[in-house]
Amino acid sequence: AAMQAVVLGKGVYQDGSTMADHVSPDTLKALRAYGNKGGLPPEALERMRPWLAAITIAMTEMQKLGFQPTLGIDHHFLTKAHAAKKAVVELETAESQLELLSGFGEELEEKFLLQTLVGLDDLDDLLTKGAAAWKAGDVKTLKEELMDKPLRDAPETKPVMVKLFDERNEKMAEKVEELLKGDEQHFVIVGAGHLVGDKGLVKLLEDRGYTVEQVRVTPGAAGAKKKPAKR
């Protein structure tokens, strides 16, 4: 409840204005077109600042396609960690994410919203290909689908990608390195988009002198017994 209050405080206009007072006619038209064709009510979205509207729309459409936040791999391991009473350390806090998004500035916020609206037609394809590539450990396709293609389709949104990925990755890499310098072993979970590319966590850790190896696990191999050699 406390976090929801913070989100609403930072993500909803508090001065009586609406998005119509802050974004271009083209962006407003795209937002209303989305709402009128069966999306979320435009009047509710227009009370939000563009960054919150973008996230609300993206999450809503992902859930329509069958992707549930509670089924994410991070949630899976977090549940297991709590059940096993293991210590959990955040690479970044929910508060820091909110500060990042609410600190975009109007121009960048609008680009973020427009990028989200324009990308809805390809969302199913992106999620399907991205999930398949993640499951297969296909780093090349992950980078193409999550990082390269969005920038080719909308190069003007590069500043958004820098904020959402590059800048956060730098801070995460610092935190991971801090953990690596300790005596304990750590199991680190981050979204796939933070791992790939020249500004991804893997490359950033390699640049710091660490050896990063992709481990491949054959389905069904875990716990399998080795067959005796034939004589």
pLDDT digits (tens, 9 = 90+) for 123-152: 999 999 999 999 999 999 999 988 898 888
The pLDDT of residue 166: 94
Nearest CA to 51 among 114, 121, 95?
114
pTM (two decimals): 0.83
The pLDDT of residue 227: 46
Nearest CA to 10 among 92, 111, 94, 87?
94
| Cβ pair 120, 54 in contact under 8 A | no
Distance CA 82, CA 70 (A): 15
Percent with pLDDT over 70 in the chain: 94
- Which backbone phi and psi does 132 adopt, to 5 degrees? -65, -40
How far the first Cα of the chain sits from its last, in Å, is 66
Query: Encoding tokens for residue 146?
Result: 């999550």
Q: What's at 3, amino acid-wise?
A: M
Long-range contacts for 220-226 (Cβ within 8 Å, ≥24 apart)? none
Q: Which residues pair with 48 in a beta bridge?
A: 12
Query: Encoding tokens for residue 161?
Result: 């990608």
- DSSP string computed for 52-88: HHHHHHHHHHHHHTT--GGGSHHHHHHHHHHHTT---
Residue 55 CA from chain centroid, whole number:
10
> Low-confidence residues of the chain, pLDDT below 50?
222-231
